[in-house]
Amino acid sequence: MTSGRAFLDLLRRDLLLAMRRRSELANPMLFFVMVIVLFPLGVGAEPKLLEQMSSGVVWVAALLAALLTLDSIFRSDFEDGTLEQILIGAHPVPMLVLAKVIAHWLVTGLPLLLVAPVLATFLGMNPEAIGVLMLSLLLGTPVLSLIGSIGVALTVGLRRGGVILSLLVLPLYVPVLIFGAAAVDAAASGMPVTGQMYILAAFLVLAVTLAPLAAAAALRISLS
């Protein structure tokens, strides 16, 4: 079996597993919606205020939703021993890690993109800004999954990894949050957003190429 084939097989397997647990599929999306709903309830429903905050609120909610689901990248495979098989197998581990992260993003990150425009409209974001929001989430949420995979790989062997995971991962999420929200803000005030988009794209390229290597190294440590 070639490594490319192994990559695709693992991707298909993870997606199939996610499809078998269909009830869990909606959870990150629900969480995302609920966090966003909390904001108008908490800070008051004044339209102008909400519009100003909308970019940040949507991005923070996306970040928290990503954080909440991170553990599932490796957890079940760690518990049933699949992860060990991946590590001792013949195929390059970073590539298989990438397959798992892509599957994770398709299951937890992509759904957020589907509900984000609806919620952004509720928050009073204007249509151009919503387009930019979608694009920034499309570029940014995979970065969240990729960076997160390093944190999960480091903490998967720990009994109480949850809190530490957020301490490890959130500081690394901040640049994505800053540029993602800045792009939407710029679009809302009618300014060009290419700069922020290029930086988000650069983050994505960097994360796709380097994060799987770091995550693979971290997995070897956690399972040694």
Which residues of this chain interact with another protein, rule CB under 8 A? 147, 150, 154-155, 157-158, 160-161, 164, 167-168, 170-172, 174-175, 178, 214, 217-218, 221-222, 224
Cβ-based nearer residue to another protein, 39 or 179: 179
Do the beta carbons of residue 169 and residue 147 sit within 8 Å?
yes
Least Å distance, CB 168 to another protein, is: 5
CA angle (59, 75, 159) in 5-degree steps:
100
Cβ-based nearer residue to another protein, 106 or 223: 223
Least Å distance, CB 218 to another protein, is: 5
Helix (H/G/I), strand (E/B), else coil: 214? helix
Do the beta carbons of residue 186 and residue 192 sit within 8 Å?
yes
Q: What is the dihedral of CA 121, 125, 130, 132, to 10 degrees?
A: -160
Cβ-based nearer residue to another protein, 29 or 210: 210
Q: With left for phi above 0 and alpha for psi between -120 and 50, is residue 2 left, alpha or beta?
A: beta
Cβ-based nearer residue to another protein, 25 or 174: 174
Tokens of 192: 């060009």
Cβ-based nearer residue to another protein, 19 or 158: 158
Least Å distance, CB 40 to another protein, is: 22
Least Å distance, CB 30 to another protein, is: 28
Least Å distance, CB 124 to another protein, is: 23
Do the beta carbons of residue 11 and residue 3 sit within 8 Å?
no
- Beta-strand ranges (E) seen in 87-157 are none
